[in-house]
Amino acid sequence: MDHEQKEAALLDGATGWQVFRYLTLPHLARPIAVVMMIETIFMLSVFAEIFVTTGGGPGYESTNLAFLIFAQALMQFDVGVASAGGLIAVILANIVAFFLIRAIGKNLVA
């Protein structure tokens, strides 16, 4: 965003919120999409921190998908459900990556 664009918007009577919404936020769309994709995939892979600190408890309060797959396979000896959970995790990561890559691709200027 150019300083001139911001100055022109303010001279035209735009509020600070409008400058942020229509000038700043569109320029941040690509970095926000990249961070969301990376963090979503990272959250699917967080396991050791939950296992060491809380053990997935109390109850299921700190359980994420990776820990739930572990608990099903190795604690409850239900490999079939754990396998299905792993497949869901991979599909979920691919869906998130697909939509965020599309969002980034739309914003590219040739």
- Predicted confidence (pLDDT) per residue in 46-64, tens digit: 888 888 888 877 877 778 8
Residue 73 resides in a domain:
yes
pLDDT bucket at 69, cuts 50 / 70 / 90: confident
Residue 13 resides in a domain:
no
Residue 5 resides in a domain:
no
22: number of Cβ within 10 Å: 12
Residue 99 resides in a domain:
yes
State the residue range of the domain holding 58: 30-107
Residue 66 resides in a domain:
yes
Question: What is the dihedral angle through the alpha carbons of 58, 61, 64, 70, rounded to the nearest 10 degrees?
Answer: 30
Count: domains in the chain: 1
Say which residue, 37 or 79, is predicted with more confidence: 79
109 pLDDT more than 70: no
Residue 50 resides in a domain:
yes
Residue 10 resides in a domain:
no
pLDDT value, residue 17 = 92
Residue 15 resides in a domain:
no
pTM for the structure as a whole: 0.56
